[in-house]
Amino acid sequence: MAALAPWGWTQEIPSGSSTAAPHGQTPPTQPPGTQVPATSVPTAASGQETGLPFNGNTQTFATRTLEMVKSLSYFAIPFAMATLLAIWFTVERIVVLRRGRVIPRPFVQRFIKLLEEGELDRDEALQVCEENGSPVAMVFAHGVRKWGKSSVEVEQAMIDGGERQVSSLRKHLRVINGVASIAPLLGLLGTVWGMLESFSKVAEAGAMGNTSELASGIALALVTTAAGLIIAIPSLVVYMYLSGRVDGLVMEMDDLAMKVVHNISAEGLAEKNSRPRRNKEGSESGSQKKAV
């Protein structure tokens, strides 16, 4: 098998060699049945790709993440506790602050409708609210206990009950906010601690010391900072989201409470009782006019 070599020479590739033959000479023929071995080319089966460098130390993302966690050393414990607290109370508040649990729409619509139609008295309305037990029902119950009082008195009773409910709705948001505030401080503490370790090792070993020991301290400093930010940023986002949800629920509860105040206050009851009389007086005056 001949191959073209530089400067016009042909190259004969016998079995196991690559000796060049002068130009113009006929290469010796191979005996019948003789096979020329193929040139060995590195393939992906041997762990390499043709024409591309191969890095045998390539690591997966999971391995790198595990090494980063190990490099946290003793700082891994507070970071793990902060992560568990943030996840636990985030899930708990998402469940508690569901709109259907705080303000059950079927109960609210039916309760206000019965009040407007005058089909509930004080004791029945209070019993219905206590049986429901939702936060908005407890706010209504505070106002129902002042049934027939002035609108200012009924409204103040609902405000007092609403403050208690808002406090319970915001109960564990402070924990999430605390995690968002403390995690970066833990990261900063780890950064300072890691740099102190690095400089102490440099001072003990002289000059720049052992680079591996120096790198361990710098790794601790950088990884703790990153871990603190990774925990704090989602915690802060969750805290802002849940705070906004609480504010929205409080505004909706306030609007519904005003409707209840209008129906159970002394002014509202007087207005409701005066409506049939006005209709009756109107009909009587109309009949008188017709008679005239």
**Among 53, 55, 50, 30, which residue's Cα sits nearest to residue 40?**
50
In degrees and rounded to multiples of 5, residue 247 shows phi and psi of -60, -40
Q: How confident is the model at residue 117 (pLDDT cuts 50, 70, 90)?
A: confident
Strand order in the sheet with 2-4: 2-4, 10-12, 20-21
Judged on CB neighbours under 10 Å (0-12, 13-18, 19+), 292 is exposed
Question: Domain residues of the chain, as ranges?
Answer: 70-176+232-270
Q: Which two tokens stand for residue 241?
A: 């989201």
User: What DSSP state is assigned to residue 49?
Assistant: B
| pLDDT confidence of residue 89 | 95
Q: How confident is the model at residue 57 (pLDDT cuts 50, 70, 90)?
A: very low
User: Which amino acid makes up residue 38?
Assistant: A
Give per-residue pLDDT as tens, 240-254.
Answer: 999 999 999 999 999
Is the predicted pLDDT of residue 61 greater than 60, yes or no?
A: no
| pLDDT confidence of residue 244 | 93
User: What DSSP state is assigned to residue 48?
Assistant: -
As a whole number of angstroms, the distance between CA 70 and CA 72 comes to: 5
Instruction: Determine which of 58-67, 144-153, 264-273 has the lowest per-residue pLDDT on average.
Output: 58-67
Q: How confident is the model at residue 64 (pLDDT cuts 50, 70, 90)?
A: low
- The whole-model pTM stands at 0.66
